[in-house]
Amino acid sequence: MRTFIAIEIPQNIKEKIYEAFEKEREKEKGVKWVEKENLHITLKFLGEIDERKVKEIEKILEEEIPLKFKSFEAKLEELDGFPNFKNPRVLWIGVSPKEKIKEIFEFIEERIEEEKMNIEKEVREFHPHITIARIKVKGKFSFERKKFDENFKINRIALFKSDLRPEGPIYTLLKEVKLKDE
């Protein structure tokens, strides 16, 4: 099954992000916008893994994450793009504090490697972000570099199954763990 580990973001933050791009969703063709309910911060894309590995990942999340990490305040940053903002293939909103989120990512990477699950390590540098759109057609897009000033609490890590469909992916929650309260 196709899976990933993510930080869930609160519903009110999802709604603010979604509302911020209402005009762009109406006018920009060739852009595939992420559905409001699918907005999240990916920590680790696991890809296609079997049921045994899913259970191992669930165990790591459930038994180790709440002991090692406390909940913390996060903040949305500005709109940016991969590979760059001038000619993006992916539009995203940065999230800080980058160091704390990166610490969770690195812990997950290390634990997966220690368990010898044969899941590839991420080769690109980790940038905590919320993907909001994918550019499907090369063209001239004029996206305003919107800045956000929204704070929210990061207090849950989740394992999701991802079913790819023509109308867009469907994410199913497999396991959710709460971080320790501060």
Catalytic residue ranges? 40, 129
- Give just the sign of the alpha carbon dihedral 111, 69, 130, 55: positive
At 4, phi and psi to the nearest 5? -155, 155
> Rounded CA gap, 39 and 22, in Å?
15
- Please list the residues that pair with 160 across neighbouring strands: 4, 173
Single-letter residue type at 36: K
